[in-house]
Structure 1
Amino acid sequence: MNKKIIIDANFPSETRVVLLGQSNNIEDIEFQTTVRQQNKGNIYLAKVTRIEPSLQAVFIEYGMDKSGFLPFSEIHPNYYNLPTSERNFPVNAFPEIALSNITVEDDKEKPAAIYDSLVDSEEIDLKTIEDLVESKFQSELNLEAADDIEIIQSGTPESNIPQYKQYKVQEVIRKNQILLAQVTKEERGNKCAAFTTYISLAGKYCVLMPNKGSQNGISRKISNGEERKRLKDILNKIVSGDKNAYSVIVRTAGRGSSTLDLKKDYNYLARLWNKIRKSTIKFSAPCFIHEEDSIIRKTIRDMCDHNVKEVVIQGQEGYEDASKFMQDLLPSELAKLKEHKSKTPIFTQFQVEEQLVKLYQPVVTLPSGGYIVINPTEALISIDVNSGKSTSEQNIEETALKTNLEAAKEVAKQVKLRDLSGLIVVDFIDMSEAKNRKIIERSFKEFLSRDRARIQTGNISQFGLLEFSRQRLRSSFLETNSAICSHCNGKGVIRASDANAMLILRTIENEIFEERIDVINVFTNIVSVIYILNNKRAEIKFIEEKYNIKLNFYSDPNATSDSYSIEKVKLLKKDDNNVNAVKPVIQNHSADYTAEELKKEQLRKNKHKWKTTNNSNNIANEVKDKSLEAKESVEQIVSVVEEVKVVESNAGLEEAQAAPKKTKRRYRNKTSNKKHPSNTVEDMEKNAES
């Protein structure tokens, strides 16, 4: 009795729970936030919205934004729309809703139309189908009781499989039919939640399955023959005295429990099920019926055993909830409950916070000086083992064996704490002796046996790789507590400064090659601008002289590390007599400007240092290589504007021809169409000198 359960419920928006072992090391962690609610185990009164024969499944509406996925194998036969003469199974589950609340619409869709609706649907893609169909083979009826329920499923030959294989989903299920369904898999990304109609309610010592008939069972992890026989006799006595005869499975935690404990747990779950049944009559689908226990209650229910010395809770509301739950279900364990009243945060006092910070890091150090590196990818999770500074052993083989043993223990711990799931590959240090590889394999399987998730392991291959798969219980720690980087978009790397600079210059050349351009403005982040101006002056000069253009570089605070945008400006000549003159055009409302207004507009733009082609002086300076100075009078500008007005009045197309052809092409994460400060080459040089 040296373990502790530490619960931080100080903030209502987040509740964190850890199980501490020796030296206050974290052995398990649970957390729940109001932002990302966990729906697994919740029960809903749902309505069938779409039937998919190609998947042999239905989509249901249950009150959330997305539809739910329900495989045909997870639909109880009591919901089948069959004549009474064809029913060869007992009707003892959900009599209130099984057939009385069915609303049927004629489904006259042809198979081709159904296929088209599947392909064109925005809810389904290839990965979604693969992930959802996988739930057909991983029918997890409850998060905490997954290992126990698996036993009863594999050990009952008279299961529901022969029933649903006799029919097709489109033959026995109708659109708008009402179902009572339980969430077995959470929503994840664009993938919708998976459901089952085989309801399961988990207690401290047993699991109640109300629509499984009277199929009782014992957890496979209880291996002692005498203990299994004792528990089976207790179950038979409990069930025989109940007219409803629900199916009951004794969980691993029920090992050594008394008849009174099992009976009390069974009665608690039976009352809960009756409450759920009554709720289905009061409400209409789709609606929420039952919520799985809170994280505090689940922790006390599943973790609080004879090995736990105390349960310490910070937060008055959480403490009261735990106290009430333990009084009802575990009165004998109530003495272990304590409230943390110190001003020091509970996770800080037990040195938990610093251990949680390490879960964000990919590198985990080992006691002997080695380390492991955890890298999640799209297809699998790779874990690399390195000896690092470990040099205490006499030879390479002994060093590899010791480091691999430490790594095997740490990998089993990390996959549990970080909730890593799917295919996981561990690259152990190569060992030449076969007996050492067998030692690692046996030790690794022993460490993994403490995990409640279903795990399948292989052997170490000739390349030193060991593959194993772990059941997904929920989203991983990083998925829940991290977001995609806004700079690299989740890639983990960005383009180098030199590569980004050359990409911009090559893009400029491509733009010039497509059409004749006089001025090109480049908008990118300040780091790239400084790098280009300091290291690519020769390339800039070469492009300007070769194509007779002007390049301007501007810093854009909204640009990411390797994004940029290019603005192209083409300036038309005024006439043949004055080829160097630029025909200025004030955007849209140029004809309405007076001399005084033009002067004020020019002063305003110079004050804020905005770069614009509306200012005729700035345009003339760029085209004539600064040969025209700012000493042109406002009267000259007004005369040009009046000339433009005359031309526009004589020809309707003159305005379009007189306007500068200005296009902007965006690349990658383009910035919004805003004006940018005039950070030209000259301005940047002046700033650098200052």
Structure 2
Amino acid sequence: MKRMLINATQPEELRVALVDGQRLYDLDIESGAREQKKANIYKGRITRIEPSLEAAFVDFGSERHGFLPLKEISREYFKKAPEGRVNIKDVLSEGQEVIVQVEKEERGNKGAALTTFISLAGRYLVLMPNNPRAGGISRRIEGEERNELREALNGLIAPADMGLIVRTAGLGRSSEEMQWDLDYLLQLWTAIKEASLDRSAPFLIYQESNVIIRAIRDYLRQDIGEVLIDSVEAQDEALTFIRQVMPQYASKIKLYEDSVPLFNRFQIESQIETAFQRVVELPSGGSIVIDPTEALVSIDINSARATKGSDIEETALQTNLEAAEEIARQLRLRDIGGLIVIDFIDMTPAKNQRAVEEKVRECLEADRARVQVGRISRFGLLEMSRQRLRPSLGESSGIVCPRCNGTGIIRDVESLSLAILRLIEEEALKDRTAEVRAQVPIPVAAFLLNEKRNSITKIELRTRARIIIL
């Protein structure tokens, strides 16, 4: 049976896990120490207009100013109707106030990506109040179901100047249920507009729901047998929301009261730990190695001790098929977005390559993010891109190593010692240098004083400067 498990016993961290039996297939962790801004709505002020980037920078109350591209600016904010090609300097002005929504979280030294085209997600619908040309039906819904939903959408009483998208949760819902969801979103938009008039920018107008409410809204389907929550307060919060939005599922919300921790009961703590590891073992004895870089995420497959096949080609195929399934799972657990390059074990037969490609696509069908998958190249590489729904698990739950600055390696003692010795010599050669002090790690000091004492003495004699190693 599929279950949603909500662990809310620690106020610093809320965790939501989706399991099928005892196999973890999706995970969402929200840290109290790291505020999530995605989907929040702010009143901001334009601080700088950059024509070369065709964008504006907006102070919306965050430490870094947000980035607002011209294509994400509604014409309602233009000072005058543009003629021909739009010049951002002509239609916007510094100091102008705008209502913006965070589309992408801050990453590294980049500010948040903003849009003025607001999207309000409900249970069955997404309302775009200032984007009438947008709308339609979720791309994940196909065939006859699209036609049924299109008819239901046409039956809704909605303002003509607003856009609507039907979510996958809208499948099988009546027009009355969708109308109720739409009315709720319209009331919310009215409240947001009224709140935006209260004071001058920058300030937060609307905060997206926490991970518990988001998970119930986005993931709770008919196939989820029960929702187990290990906190009374979190259960009350979930029940309040569910009775308002989808009362038919209220009976699925249950309080977990066992003395054994919830995630331990379903044996998923060890599975969660794999999402923080660089190397993930495969059942056959092979492994996958996941390395995020600035430009892309590289994933390497190693056969290692894998002996599943009858010959080398069969072993390669079986290990790659196993890896395809685990990679799709790890992408969801880690919430990896952007460009991903997978280095599969070399396979000679073209049919084996096609089988692995099909396996990758099949395993990614359940992914909520938009995914584009290429084909295996002659170098054995498969390129794919995955929509970045939120910061990855590594970004939201980790910090960059202060020793290696995220590179994963530091210079060895000998290399570092010689570099420092050259620096000491350079400083000693400068005019009027009487003394050079070098404060270094103990292993480096030991190497310099034992292995390079003669070199240090020669520098002192030549430069007449005193050298002290601390």
Paired residue type of 2:149: L
Larger Rg: 1
- Tell me which residue corresponds to 2:48: 50
The one of 63, 75, 78 equivalent to 2:76 is 78
Question: How far, CA to CA, are the matches of 1:53 and 1:510 in structure 2?
Answer: 45
Q: Which of 219, 224, 232 in structure 1 is aligned with 2:150? A: 232
Kindly provide the amino acid, as one letter, of the partner of residue 192 in structure 1: G
Shift of 1:245: 6.2
Query: Corresponding residue for 1:35?
Result: 33
Q: Which amino acid aligns with 1:464?
A: G
Residue 301 of structure 1 deviates from its aligned partner by: 0.5
Q: Within the alignment, does 1:328 sit opposite 2:244 as a pair?
A: yes
The verdict on how the C-alpha distance between 1:382 and 1:243 changes in structure 2, with shifts beyond 3 A counting, is closer
Q: Within 2, Cα distance between the matches of 1:520 and 1:173?
A: 56
User: Which position in structure 1 is the counterpart of 2:136?
Assistant: 217
Q: Which amino acid aligns with 1:58?
A: A
Question: Which residue in 1 is equivalent to 2:65?
Answer: 67
Indicate if the aligned counterparts of 2:41 and 2:99 stay in contact, CA closer than 8 A: yes
Which amino acid in the other structure matches residue 416 of structure 1? Answer: R
The one-letter amino acid of 2:260's match is: T
The C-alpha deviation readout for 1:68-95, integer Å capped at 9, x for no partner, is: 221111111222223xxx6xxxxxxxxx
Secondary structure of the equivalent of 2:98?
Answer: strand
Residues 1:343 and 1:548: Cα distance change in structure 2 (over 3 Å) = same
What is the percentage of aligned positions where both structures have the same residue? 43
| Matched residue, 2:359 | 443
Deviation at 1:518, TM superposition (A): 8.6
- Matching of residues 173-322 of structure 1 within 5 Å: 173-213=92-132, 216-225=135-144, 227-239=145-157, 242=158, 246-322=162-238
- Evaluate the alpha carbon distance shift between residue 73 and residue 283 of structure 1 in structure 2; reply closer, same or farther with a 3 A threshold: same
Q: What code does the residue aligned with 1:381 have?
A: V
Letter of the aligned partner of 1:468 in structure 2? M
Which residue type is aligned with residue 440 of structure 1?
A: V
Aligned equivalents of 1:168, 1:214: Cα separation in 2: 22
Residues 632-673 of structure 1: per-residue CA shift (max 9 Å, x gap): xxxxxxxxxxxxxxxxxxxxxxxxxxxxxx7989xxxxxxxx
Q: For 1:30, give the aligned amino acid.
A: D
- 2:26 and 2:320 map into 1 onto residues whose CA distance is 23
Deviations 1:142-181 (A, max 9, x none): xxxxxxxxxxxxxxxxxxxxx8964322222223222221
Equivalent residue, structure 1, for 2:453: 540
CA contact (8 A) 2:436 2:467 kept: no
Shift of 1:376: 1.6
SS of corresponding position for 2:101:
strand
Number of aligned residue pairs: give it: 470
3-state SS in 1 of match to 2:8: strand
Measure how far apart 1:484 and its partner are: 2.1
How many Å apart are 1:51 and its aligned residue? 1.9
Equivalent position amino acid for 1:401 in 2: L
- Name the structure where strand makes up a greater proportion of residues: 2
Residue 499 of structure 1: CA displacement?
2.9
Give the structure-1-normalised TM-score: 0.64
Check if 1:403 corresponds to 2:403: no
Q: How far apart in 2 are the matches of 1:164 and 1:18?
A: 52
Per-residue CA deviations over 1:470-528 (Å, capped at 9, x if unaligned) read 22222211122222222223222222233334444455555555579898665322233
Q: Equivalents in 2 of 1:252, 1:285: separation in Å?
A: 36
Note if contact 1:309-1:336 (Cα within 8 Å) is conserved in structure 2: yes
Q: CA deviation at 1:531?
A: 4.6
The residue correspondences of 1:420-569 to structure 2 (distance < 5 A) are 420-508=336-424, 522-532=438-448, 536=451, 539-541=452-454, 543-544=456-457, 546=458
Over 3 Å counting, the alpha-carbon distance change for 1:513 and 1:52 in structure 2 is: closer
Distance 1:291 1:164 in 2: 37
> Does the 8 Å CA contact 1:520/1:549 hold for their aligned counterparts?
no
Cα deviation per residue 1:563-605 (whole Å; 9 max; x = unaligned)?
A: xxxxx985xxxxxxxxxxxxxxxxxxxxxxxxxxxxxxxxxxx
Which ranges in structure 2 are unaligned for 5 or more consecutive residues?
none
Moved over 6 A (4+): 515-520, 662-665
SS at match of 2:294: coil
| Preserved contact between residue 77 and residue 164 of structure 1 (Cα < 8 Å) | no
CA distance in 2, matches of 1:295, 1:342: 23
Q: CA offsets, 1:43-89, max 9 Å, x none?
A: 1122222222222222222222222221111111222223xxx6xxx
Please give the secondary structure, in 2, of the residue aligned with 1:10: coil
Q: Structure 1, residues 297-347: CA drift from partner, whole Å, max 9, x if none?
A: 110001110111111112222111111001100111011101122333322
Query: Counterparts of 1:508 and 1:66 in 2: how far apart (Å)?
Result: 39
Equivalent AA in structure 1 for residue 146 of structure 2: R
Counterpart of 1:125 in structure 2 is none
Q: Give the distance between the partners of 2:459 and 2:43, measured in 1 at CA.
A: 70
Structure 1 residues 445 and 664, CA gap change in structure 2 (3 angstroms):
same
Contact in 1 for aligned 2:42/2:204 (Cα 8 Å): yes
Q: Which has the higher helix share?
A: 1
> Shift in Å at residue 530 of structure 1?
3.9
CA distance in 2, matches of 1:39, 1:516: 55
Note if 1:412 corresponds to 2:328: yes
Give the secondary structure class of the aligned counterpart of 1:293: coil
CA distance in 1, matches of 2:445, 2:27: 46
Instruction: Assess if the C-alpha contact under 8 Å between 1:216 and 1:235 holds in 2.
Output: no
Letter in 1 for 2:99: L
CA contact (8 A) 2:4 2:16 kept: yes
Contact 1:7 1:17 in 2 (8 A): yes
Q: Which runs of 5+ in 1 are unaligned?
A: 87-162, 551-567, 571-661, 666-675, 677-690
Q: Structure 1 residue 418: deviation in Å?
A: 1.2
Mapped to 2, the partners of 1:517 and 1:56 lie a distance apart of 52
TM-score (norm 2): 0.92
Matched residue SS, 2:33: coil
| 2:262 aligned to which of 336, 342, 346 | 346
Is the 8 Å Cα contact of residues 31 and 397 (structure 2) preserved in structure 1? no
Q: Which amino acid aligns with 1:283?
A: R
Distance 2:162 2:421 in 1: 74
* SS of residue matched to 2:172: coil
State the superposition RMSD in angstroms. Answer: 2.7
Q: SS at 2:235's partner residue?
A: helix
Distance 1:518 1:278, change over 3 A: closer
